[in-house]
Structure 1
Amino acid sequence: MSPKLAATIPQNVAVLNFPFASHPSSLLRFIRTISGLAPDIKFTFFSLSRTNSSLFSGSNNKGLDNIKPYDVWDGLPEGYVPPSGHPLEQIGLFLDKAPCTFERAIKEVEAEMGHKFGCLISDAFLWFSGDIAEKMQVPWVTVWSGPRPLLVHLETDIIREKVGAPGQEDKTLDFLPGFSDEFRASDLPKEVVFGDIESPLARMLHSMGQKLPQATVVAVNSFEAMDFKVTEELKKRLQKLLLVGPLHLVRPVPSVVSDEEEEEEEKDGCLQWLDKHKPASVAYISFGSVGALPPIEVAALAEALEEGGFPFLWSFRGNLEDFPKGFFERTSIGKVVPWVNQVQILNHASIGVFVTHCGWKSVLESVTYGVPMIGRPHFADQNLNMRSVEVVWKIGMRIEGGVFTKTGAIKALEQALSLEQGKEMRRRVGVLKQLAQEAVGPNGRSTQDLKALVQIIKS
């Protein structure tokens, strides 16, 4: 190929997605950010057909001219009927076949294009992407969420050596750099600390922790001042760490929601409803797209809101029958809707506290809009995020006893919305908000890291 012809071919990047929970939308947001900074790069987004259909259908195609979906096999046997609940079995079946499935799909697309991919980007869970990138002889860029959970995964072997026996849940983690004695083994995902290292999730997380130090770049959706000491430790363990967030502040990114969801928000009029409330007076409640409260906790939290007279906006995707009988008829101070634009809601002056599951995306959005948190974590990194919210940044509190009771919820809401403790949390989170905005400013560290990342992908 002549140099002149090579120069006319745009850089093509393969993107490998972990197609479960909120990972697809998070990875697509990352790719959209990169594509906005480098519109000459073409991306192929490899994922399951159902994921691609959801992410790229209808109005979701806006602004995605240089990002194309490509469907891969889900690894499920013909006629497979998934069990109800968390898709652990489906994840295991997918991961068993994924290395060969992705590698085959990459070769198919390269044959269609008539030239090779120049870079491989993957969700960090897909640890085997490093082996694929090595065969392709291209850089491997992998994407992660919060810094502290990442350090935990890199130190899994040490954690298991120090802790990994049942009954040690209260053992402190001060042997880990950047962790105080206020962190406990119970704050970590059980797959990291206890149990069979060969179970699908534990094997995936362990393999990821072993493989990530070989990545060309690990890009994390955070900013340096958020967790400086942990960031310094990660830099010692990785070839190159780039903190490129908060991504939702970097630039306007086309929404990943559908027309129906946009209409839902307009129909529900959440922002107009919030306009009628005093500053920092409303509790915003959401437990993410995957986590759901047990019915008994839904009822307890609803009773607390009603008895305490707390104005609230609740994004709720569960069964409305879980609410106490007559709750909606009796309660005029609150609003329950199936979906909201969370960034817009958290950025509204009337929001005084975010009642959350403490997924990293929610924590980061709460920080960047200066909203304290009440946490009720469920699984994965949520407990560790909650502990950081409590003891590192001191910008929120875990619900008393770890589950919602009417008494515990009233106590937490009063502290956050009315008492001095809430005012102090708001002051502290306001400092982090300012640091986040500086990080993505014209001369901010995250802005610099994003530019460096684009250059590595282009190279």
Structure 2
Amino acid sequence: MQVPNEGHVAVLAFPFGTHATPLLTLVRRLSATAPNLKFSFLNTPASNRKIFSKIKPDDYQNINPYDVDDGVPEGHVFSGHPLEAVELFLGLMPENFKNGLEEAVEKTGVQITCLLTDAFYWFAADMAAEMGVPWVAFWTASPCAISVHMYTDVILSTLKGYTEENGNQTLNFIPGMFAIHAKDIPGGINQEVPFNIMLHKMGQTIPRVTALAINSFEEIDPIITNDLKSKLKMVMNIGPFDLALPPKSFPDESGCIPWLDEHEKASVAYLSFGTLLTPPPDELIALAEALETQRVPFLWSFRDSSKLPLLEGFLERTSTLGKVVPWTPQLQVLEHPSVGVFITHAGWNSVSESIGGGVPMICRPFFADQGLNSRLVEEVWKIGVSVEGGNFTKSGTMKALELVFSSEKGVEMRENIGNLKEKAKIAVGSDGSSTKNFVSLVKVVAGCENA
């Protein structure tokens, strides 16, 4: 594909959660397809260090990271509030990014020709308009989640406000959301806190975007995707990235794959929560007790070593039943035929990986869009089950394990997720919808197509 020699794409990352990494993955994919373009990646110093340390310099020769102010005052002592760092950062926007853009232009000597941002950044609409360049927004979660934010005002109007009493009301007045409840909406819809204000502004502003790219595939939510297409100029599902860009093989230092080879098909529970979303102590103990009582073989990727002592007795008693390791080659594990269920949080990356592996889920929602994802997993796609009451208990986890491993519903889950996996593989194939959408996205970013 021919692209301009002097193109300069400014990339504005959201430095929290699992946002910056998939955005960098997208930028690396774009830069490989359009090597003549320059990409300036604007992000906080800590987030830049973290995500760029995972790749080799040769893999991003036309991508230059730039640090923007994170809003944390010198000597600041954090209170422990989970959103404190986020709110300090939001308080500086968009000035910190404007400063970063000036630096990128000065150092490259090339004016910005496209603005590629996390979809959260509503202010990018005005920035792009002032520069006279296209605004491409990247949404890292499901099409359903971005649609919910676009419909926030409609939801509030229809429900006449949001209360605990109407939290169970379904959003059947919105295309494709017949099973979604008001309480599933990410972050609520009327809490006047900076993060939720940002989400509301995003929903109001996203119709101005030149193109919206989504880390999903059209076939997973066709009704919602078609509704988005009717409201936006260009909607491009370009994932799931786990299948579109399969990672390089990682060394299996803990011997997970040989251990899985010793087990029967679909008999092992694989558990992984990462480092940020490890369940609290009482839930870890309940989860362990359920596995031990049910005698379910398990492979547990346990990264929060500070909480391992909680399971000391459990680990001794189940040394022949399960395997606990600090790290696993996750996608390779999920594709192994002996894995029968993935026990994890309800983040979109986990849902996507579960689909890519064709393995049913037992998911635990923590925050953000995870309540929505849990509802999609259990009631819309029927590819897993959300933990009873939203927390791990011994009885609730035992019930979920029984459902997945030993019931007709479990058989149905495996069939449903297998079908979704096949659709996803077709979407990222040479003639698939996600592949075609990515080609169109390159044209917009490179200035070859005026949307």
**TM-score interval w.r.t. the shorter chain?**
over 0.9
Deviations 1:252-284 (A, max 9, x none): 4569xxxxxx6xx63312222222222211111
Please say if 1:37 is aligned against 2:23. Answer: no
Q: Which 4+ runs in 1 deviate beyond 4 A? A: 252-255
- 279, 285, 292: which is aligned to 2:271? 285
C-alpha distance in 1, partners of 2:220/2:56? 31
- In the TM superposition, 1:312-351 aligns within 5 A as 312-318=298-304, 319-321=306-308, 323-332=310-319, 333-351=321-339
- 248, 253, 278: which is aligned to 2:242? 248
- 222, 227, 248: which is aligned to 1:228? 222
TM-fit CA distance, 1:121: 0.5
- Which residue is equivalent to 2:114? 119
- Report the CA distance shift for 1:345/1:108 in structure 2 as closer, same or farther (over 3 A): same
Contact 2:210 2:234 in 1 (8 A): yes
Partner amino acid for 1:148? C
TM-fit CA distance, 1:316: 2.2
- 273, 285, 292: which is aligned to 1:306? 292
Contact 2:341 2:404 in 1 (8 A): yes
Contact 1:347 1:369 in 2 (8 A): yes
Report the identity percentage.
46
Greater CA drift, 266-275 or 90-99: 266-275
C-alpha distance in 1, partners of 2:101/2:247? 27
Deviations 1:435-455 (A, max 9, x none): 111111111111100000001
C-alpha distance in 2, partners of 1:61/1:300? 44
TM-fit CA distance, 1:195: 2.6
Deviations 1:71-103 (A, max 9, x none): 1111122221222241x1221221121211111
Please say if 1:107 is aligned against 2:102. Answer: yes
Partner amino acid for 1:68? N
- 15, 26, 31: which is aligned to 1:19? 15
Contact 2:87 2:194 in 1 (8 A): yes
TM-fit CA distance, 1:150: 0.6
SS at match of 1:179: coil
TM-fit CA distance, 1:321: 4.4
Deviations 1:401-437 (A, max 9, x none): 2221112211211221233221111011111111111
- 73, 79, 87: which is aligned to 1:77? 73
- Report the CA distance shift for 1:346/1:309 in structure 2 as closer, same or farther (over 3 A): same
C-alpha distance in 2, partners of 1:288/1:142? 27
Deviations 1:20-41 (A, max 9, x none): 1111112111212222322332
- Which residue is equivalent to 1:3? none
Contact 2:274 2:302 in 1 (8 A): no
- Which residue is equivalent to 1:178? 176
C-alpha distance in 1, partners of 2:389/2:4? 61
Contact 1:225 1:435 in 2 (8 A): yes
- Which residue is equivalent to 1:65? 61
CA RMSD of aligned residues (A): 1.9
- 433, 439, 446: which is aligned to 2:421? 433
Contact 2:4 2:37 in 1 (8 A): no
Partner amino acid for 1:248? D
Unmatched segments (≥5 aa) in structure 1: 1-6, 256-261
- Which residue is equivalent to 2:195? 201
Deviations 1:4-47 (A, max 9, x none): xxx98442211100001111112111212222322332211111
Deviations 1:92-147 (A, max 9, x none): 22112121111111111111211212111111112212222122211111100210
Please say if 1:50 is aligned against 2:46. Answer: yes
TM-fit CA distance, 1:322: 5.9
- Which residue is equivalent to 1:259? none
Contact 1:16 1:47 in 2 (8 A): yes
C-alpha distance in 1, partners of 2:145/2:129? 26
Deviations 1:151-181 (A, max 9, x none): 100011111223333222122211222111x
- Which residue is equivalent to 1:273? 259
- Which residue is equivalent to 1:422? 410
- Which residue is equivalent to 2:377? 389
C-alpha distance in 2, partners of 1:58/1:417? 36
Contact 1:395 1:426 in 2 (8 A): yes
Contact 1:440 1:446 in 2 (8 A): yes
Deviations 1:362-419 (A, max 9, x none): 1112112211111211111111111111111111111222221112211211221233
C-alpha distance in 2, partners of 1:30/1:451? 13
Please say if 1:169 is aligned against 2:167. Answer: yes
- 352, 365, 372: which is aligned to 1:364? 352
C-alpha distance in 2, partners of 1:457/1:200? 30
